[in-house]
Structure 1
Amino acid sequence: MAVKRRLKTLDWGSDGLMVSMDHQGTFLHFAFYHPHHGVVQLSPYEQFDGGKFHDPSYVRSYRCRMLKLLEQDLSGFGLQIRDRPLHYPEVSVHRDRQTIDYHITGNIRVQRAHAISPDGVFQQTTTISTTSDRACIVPIVLSLKMSMNRASYGQLTEGGPIPLPETLNVFKSQASPCNAFSIQNSNLDAAVDGKIWSNREEVTDLLLRDTEQTYCGRPANQEFPANVTISSDSPLVFRLTLQPKAQGLAFQPRQHLSCAFPCSPVWKLEDPQALTIIRGNLAYILGNCMIPISDASVCVITDHVALPLGWNRDNYWQINFLLGVFRKLDLIVDAETAHRYRNEIAARVKGHLNWVFRDAQRPHGFWHRSYLANGVPKDGPIFQLDQQCYPILELCDFVDTISDSDLSIQGILEESAVAVVIDVLLGKRDPQTHLFPTDETPGDDPVEFPFHFSSHILLWYTFHKLAMLLERLGDTESLQASCMKQLAAETLNSTMSHFVARNPTTGTTMFAYLTDGAGQHAFYHDANDIPTLFAQEWGFASTGDASDIWTRTIRFGLSAANEGGFYGDGPFGGLGSVHTRAPWPLGYFQELVFAELTGDFTGRELAWNKIQGSMFPDGLFSEAVDALTGECTSKAWFSWPGSMIGSALLRDRMGIVLPQKAL
């Protein structure tokens, strides 16, 4: 099917610098790691209103600010070419570089190339050229309308806001010979230094003047316009650099693994949409979602705009996608590029394991709901059962995938984190039912009853996988494979005993969503509850009656009977969430996988059509979409659904994307 070009920023980054641009290459978001604040950003609009953390409508509205600028065709800060493109720009994204190419009136071509150096300097090179016989006048503006703010970390289900420092933008610029500018926010102990260079000295002289001005509570407001002459034998080149600085922050030489990729990778997948999804999510996760905070540790964030926070749940599926790519690299890209990606993925995942087990603070013994990039908990002591499982599963998956990982992982197992988390879990286990309570669902919503089904599948799977890991590497002083096997068996039995119930709406027996363990049940299925989808494949419900119960549960979840979770009206209708009431691409993923698991080619085709029709040009997806149009209705920047869909395509159980013999 034809894929509609949906409105979204051009997103790219590397090594803790995260950039979003409009389609002409001006900046709508320039973010970087800060050792105290986590993420600090430059944007062309004001800071989040710190009095509205508990106002979900405002949070949604603020998240849409960049999309509104795109809708209104308003440029961001940086070097603006005032004439608009005659066509949608051609964008090329590689692991270590990005290019934008378009034409404006008068046969004028604008080419922009972006790179990030190992010492943390972002560089944009703009070349303006023409094939016209006549010289052309091109109006340009160096717009430095921008504000330096801390990331808001505003959530729809707020778990404890971190107060925002007041905005204080101190702008300085200096003309020739420096051609430099800076913006500083002393309340953040952060600054960005910039410099612009041109191959024509007289043009550079027009763009800056000696200035110093302080803007309290609002963005800086500086613009430097000029008209430049372009001829066929005299292209104009600009080089703009931006370098973030912060107290105690040094862009020390780190594992800068993205600097030696081939210029023209050869991608092998024949399906163009599948390739777009896999390439796009690979580039986005490695570039915009991975923040090295030291030589050894890498924080993975959910996205670089709406929620630049470490979230165990999202991080696991992001890493799961990367490990899936790792296993299939030889099938999807040329040998040299595969080698580079394989090295980077292995190092980044190992870095994230160091971060989650050694840097992410656990003042109450368990992992918190979410984290700043520096490892400080964002939310209060909210206990989410599933969040305790994902780091341990990531550890197991890493060993399963990376053959030389055993030695480094042994050290994590011998430390206290895994044992302490399991002790916390056992301390919370209900003595009568042997079920494990949770404060919230995987959608971050409070629970009606304390025991949640998909989290128990995940917990059983975690005990099972940890037992296998210990059998491979050997028991530690506090962790024994036999104990984990026993916990897995007990969790399976108690879950089957207490969650299987008759749904009064459908009149069928299925797995309940929640239970009190004393006969009360709630029936629902959510796009966030991925473990339920995998219950059969993982072996939790793979035989006899359990498999039939699982099938009825998923069919219920993907039907109108799933009140509050299914939004079926329209060509893009499907499974969503009470968390954001609309169809979710994560729901399309569940449709796709369930169809593949049950051999339903028609269902797979319907799900694949929805996926293609709702994806952005870069292969990424929003949190939720309009059921009639497929347009984004919530959070355009969200790496989880793309990770899941990309993983499904790499698995390709029906041999449609990958050759059947390779599965």
Structure 2
Amino acid sequence: MAPASAPNPLPSRKDTDFNYSKPWVFDLKTTGPNKTVDIGGNGVSLSMDAQGRVRTRMLQLIRQDQGGFGLDFGISAHLVSIKIVETNVALYHMKLANDIDMAITVKVAEDGSFVQYAEATNKGRACIFLPYTLGLNVSLNRASYSQLTEGGPIPLPACQNVLTKRGLTSLRVCNPYLDAQLVTRLDIDGQPRLLHDVQDQEVSNATLDISVNGKTCIPPGASARFCASFRLSPDTEQHTDVFPDAQLRSDIIQQDMKPRWRDDPLLTTYVIRRNVEYILANCVLPVSASTAVIRLLLETLANITSLIHASFQNCYEEKIRFAAQGHIEWVFTKAKRPHGFWHRSYLATGEPKDPSIFQLDQQCYPLLELCDYLQYFPEEIDFVRGIVATGIIEEILTMLASKQDATTLLWPTDETPGDDAVIYPHHFSSHVLMWRTFTRLHQLYVRLGSPSGCQALQLDTMAAKIKERTIKVFMAENHAYEQVLFAYLADGCGKVIFYHDGNDIPTAFAHEWGFVTTPKEVCAWRATMEFALSPANTKGYCNGSPYGGLGSMHSPGAWTLGYFQELAYAASSGNVFAMQTAWRKIAAAMQWDGTFPEAVCPKTAECTSKAWFSWPGAMIGALLIRMKFNGQEQVLLQTHN
């Protein structure tokens, strides 16, 4: 499967020199997409299969080749082309065995509703009776929280699905335990499908089993148009019967003719574009955002005139600003801290999921995000002043002061950034991140002129002390490797562990940030990265071929975050061969929609863990933007299999 402009079998998606502005073509009789089609907007996220059906239980339905809810034509197509046009629109095209040319558009509207619009054209010489189904095998319940390292499951609330008719044209599903409703309607050729044959249904702890079936006659050369509309809203909201008209698809097709991103055919642009759009579509809920995600959005914003065509720049800028500011507001004002610190994971309500676990790195990221936000949005200085005025930063700094070990002058952590328990209490990359955080906060306070010049000076002094003590404790000789490295964990009294993890991004940035400066420090850092990206890192490096690389004890396989570190280190060293080697791995690990899984098989580069993982794509996308504008992108474009 690979991008194509014609419905023909295509070479492997691991090739890097196709026109990535074209739709992807899949042969459903051999290999369909191994990941859903994901679009969204305004808090609504959709995951669909290769036929445009919405998935309710994504992985199970994909493996069993079962349809989700919504429009279903019982399609037996051979080749299907799919294109995610923008954050909230996906286009499908397929030819059915009975001379039907089928085009399907799925769009999430600004009001949070979504539609499936299908246009079936009879290319034959005789009338065709096309069967259709509007499936409502749906359960309206709270989504399950998922973690690979759960601190304990969260029971789902009671589930009761009640389906009732609203007049003769609309259906309503509600769950009294959630105060939510889903209203749907099917129009055919501009007329609502009457629902005389549908009976009310009520089930507990199960999905509904309702379908609206029928056939429509399509004369030769004519088309039939179907529009299934869905709106999810609070149970108290009155539903208005306002649905899209038949002009929907033609408007979207005309819109699709206008390219949004410059250099759209390039794989590098495809990775940047698709990860930006995936974040804006599916990760804009504040609890889902991360520093990596925000970083890609802000890097895109800083280079928006060079990345995106002028007519679409305002749209992307508005979405990026909304996502970044909303995330910061949530973290600083909604996320609860019953123990004084930010927790490793949260529920959408702001309640911490695992309240007893303290991760040192999690205290740094919100502060860095605030600094980044002001850097990229200097006109929002009053918003940042408002965050500072709440006193939350002072509370975090006071909490951190109370956590500092009096003997070693280091900071302990319960877990590493990979959510793994520590053997020794002090973690190297988290201290690099601490130094970076205090340095950036110093700069922020100087710029704001508050809360006092004395406070800013104290932060600068503290940053210098963190760096001095961290280098002294963690720089040690690895006798097995015969090099002086920065250790992974330390007890502060001479005992260390040598290891490097795919999650230890701050270590990879230690040189660029200026944490290591002297020849001795830089030499130790380079030795650390060389060790990390080699089989000598026995517990962290996945030593398989051809796609082996840095991974994690957390999950088996080569991690795409490890590929990112490999590419970043090669780029910082100017090593062309290493850059191209890392890029080939990244291209192979990329899923069809430009996003990345957590880990892949070293032999095939197929996903082995967490297909929906926003961190790697965000990190890789941000790095590619920088490489694009410092001339290194050309090195990647010269890579061939």
TM value normalised by structure 2: 0.88
Aligned-partner Cα distance in 2 for 1:98–1:208: 32
4+ runs deviating over 6 angstroms: 248-251, 259-262
Q: What code does the residue aligned with 2:91 have?
A: T
Q: What code does the residue aligned with 1:92 have?
A: I
Do the aligned residues in 2 keep the contact of 1:194 with 1:242 (CA within 8 Å)? Answer: yes
Q: Deviations over 1:307-350 (max 9, x none)?
A: xxxxxxxx111000000101111112211212321232123212
Q: Following TM superposition, by how much is the alpha carbon of 1:655 offset from its aligned partner in structure 2, in angstroms?
A: 1.5
Aligned-partner Cα distance in 1 for 2:86–2:468: 49
Matches within 5 A, 1:529-548: 529-548=504-523
Q: What code does the residue aligned with 1:581 have?
A: P
Q: 1:24 aligned to 22, 47, 51, which one?
A: 51
Q: Deviations over 1:153-196 (max 9, x none)?
A: 1322112432211332222346xx63222222223332212121
Q: 2:489 aligned to 514, 518, 522, which one?
A: 514
Do the aligned residues in 1 keep the contact of 2:134 with 2:213 (CA within 8 Å)? Answer: yes
Do the aligned residues in 2 keep the contact of 1:500 with 1:509 (CA within 8 Å)? Answer: yes
Q: Following TM superposition, by how much is the alpha carbon of 1:67 offset from its aligned partner in structure 2, in angstroms?
A: 3.6
Do the aligned residues in 2 keep the contact of 1:7 with 1:67 (CA within 8 Å)? Answer: no
Q: Following TM superposition, by how much is the alpha carbon of 1:363 offset from its aligned partner in structure 2, in angstroms?
A: 1.6
Matches within 5 A, 1:69-148: 69-148=61-140
Aligned-partner Cα distance in 2 for 1:250–1:503: 68
Please state if 1:224 is matched with 2:240.
no
2:320 partner SS:
helix
Aligned-partner Cα distance in 1 for 2:342–2:539: 29
Matches within 5 A, 1:570-581: 570-581=545-556
Q: 1:301 aligned to 276, 288, 307, which one?
A: 288
Aligned-partner Cα distance in 1 for 2:277–2:101: 26
Please state if 1:14 is matched with 2:41.
yes
Q: Deviations over 1:435-482 (max 9, x none)?
A: 011111101111111110100000000000110111111121698210
Aligned-partner Cα distance in 2 for 1:275–1:644: 14
Q: Which residue of 2 aligns with 1:279?
A: 273
Q: Following TM superposition, by how much is the alpha carbon of 1:576 offset from its aligned partner in structure 2, in angstroms?
A: 0.7
Aligned-partner Cα distance in 2 for 1:492–1:287: 39
Q: Following TM superposition, by how much is the alpha carbon of 1:386 offset from its aligned partner in structure 2, in angstroms?
A: 0.4
1:413 partner SS:
helix
Q: What code does the residue aligned with 2:515 have?
A: F
Q: Following TM superposition, by how much is the alpha carbon of 1:131 offset from its aligned partner in structure 2, in angstroms?
A: 2.4
Aligned-partner Cα distance in 1 for 2:300–2:80: 30
1:396 partner SS:
helix
Matches within 5 A, 1:148-163: 148-163=140-155
Q: Following TM superposition, by how much is the alpha carbon of 1:381 offset from its aligned partner in structure 2, in angstroms?
A: 2.5
Do the aligned residues in 2 keep the contact of 1:2 with 1:613 (CA within 8 Å)? Answer: no
Q: Deviations over 1:608-641 (max 9, x none)?
A: 0011111111110011111111111111111110
Q: Which residue of 2 aligns with 1:306?
A: none
Q: 1:655 aligned to 619, 627, 631, which one?
A: 631
Q: Following TM superposition, by how much is the alpha carbon of 1:233 offset from its aligned partner in structure 2, in angstroms?
A: 4.6
Q: Deviations over 1:235-274 (max 9, x none)?
A: 21122121113368899xxxxxxx9996523422266211
Q: 2:535 aligned to 560, 564, 582, which one?
A: 560
Q: Following TM superposition, by how much is the alpha carbon of 1:508 offset from its aligned partner in structure 2, in angstroms?
A: 1.6
Q: Which residue of 1 aligns with 2:639?
A: none
Q: Deviations over 1:63-105 (max 9, x none)?
A: xxx2443344322111101122221323232134332222212
Do the aligned residues in 1 keep the contact of 2:374 with 2:381 (CA within 8 Å)? Answer: yes
CA spacing shift, 1:249–1:562, aligned 2, 3 Å: farther
Q: Which residue of 2 aligns with 1:244?
A: 232
1:89 partner SS:
strand
Q: Following TM superposition, by how much is the alpha carbon of 1:504 offset from its aligned partner in structure 2, in angstroms?
A: 3.2
Q: Which residue of 1 aligns with 2:13?
A: 3
Aligned-partner Cα distance in 1 for 2:206–2:321: 43
CA spacing shift, 1:441–1:392, aligned 2, 3 Å: same
Matches within 5 A, 1:323-472: 323-472=298-447
Please state if 1:608 is matched with 2:608.
no
Aligned-partner Cα distance in 1 for 2:473–2:220: 77
CA spacing shift, 1:478–1:468, aligned 2, 3 Å: closer
Please state if 1:179 is matched with 2:172.
no
Aligned-partner Cα distance in 1 for 2:545–2:476: 32
Q: What code does the residue aligned with 1:220 have?
A: L
Q: 1:488 aligned to 460, 463, 469, which one?
A: 463
Q: Which residue of 1 aligns with 2:7?
A: none
Q: How many residues align?
A: 595
CA spacing shift, 1:325–1:300, aligned 2, 3 Å: farther
Q: What code does the residue aligned with 1:69 have?
A: L
Q: What code does the residue aligned with 2:270 have?
A: T
Aligned-partner Cα distance in 2 for 1:123–1:467: 49
Q: Which residue of 1 aligns with 2:160?
A: 168
Q: 2:291 aligned to 313, 316, 328, which one?
A: 316
CA spacing shift, 1:208–1:97, aligned 2, 3 Å: farther
Aligned-partner Cα distance in 1 for 2:461–2:381: 24
Q: Deviations over 1:401-430 (max 9, x none)?
A: 123121211111121111101111110001
Q: Deviations over 1:254-310 (max 9, x none)?
A: xxxxx999652342226621111111111111111113xxxxxxx1515xxxxxxxx
User: What is the percent sequence identity of the aligned residues?
Assistant: 38
Aligned-partner Cα distance in 2 for 1:197–1:482: 66
Q: Following TM superposition, by how much is the alpha carbon of 1:656 offset from its aligned partner in structure 2, in angstroms?
A: 3.6
Aligned-partner Cα distance in 1 for 2:115–2:411: 51
178-187 or 396-405, which moves further after superposition? 178-187
TM value normalised by structure 1: 0.85
Q: Following TM superposition, by how much is the alpha carbon of 1:359 offset from its aligned partner in structure 2, in angstroms?
A: 1.3
Q: What code does the residue aligned with 2:288 have?
A: I
Matches within 5 A, 1:36-75: 43=56, 45=57, 66-75=58-67
Q: Deviations over 1:556-588 (max 9, x none)?
A: 111111122110212111111111011011111
Aligned-partner Cα distance in 2 for 1:249–1:541: 58
CA spacing shift, 1:112–1:408, aligned 2, 3 Å: same
CA spacing shift, 1:502–1:282, aligned 2, 3 Å: same
1:226 partner SS:
strand
Aligned-partner Cα distance in 1 for 2:255–2:338: 45
CA spacing shift, 1:645–1:87, aligned 2, 3 Å: same
Q: Following TM superposition, by how much is the alpha carbon of 1:373 offset from its aligned partner in structure 2, in angstroms?
A: 2.5
Aligned-partner Cα distance in 1 for 2:533–2:363: 27
CA spacing shift, 1:535–1:464, aligned 2, 3 Å: same
Q: Which residue of 2 aligns with 1:56?
A: none
Q: 1:528 aligned to 477, 480, 503, which one?
A: 503
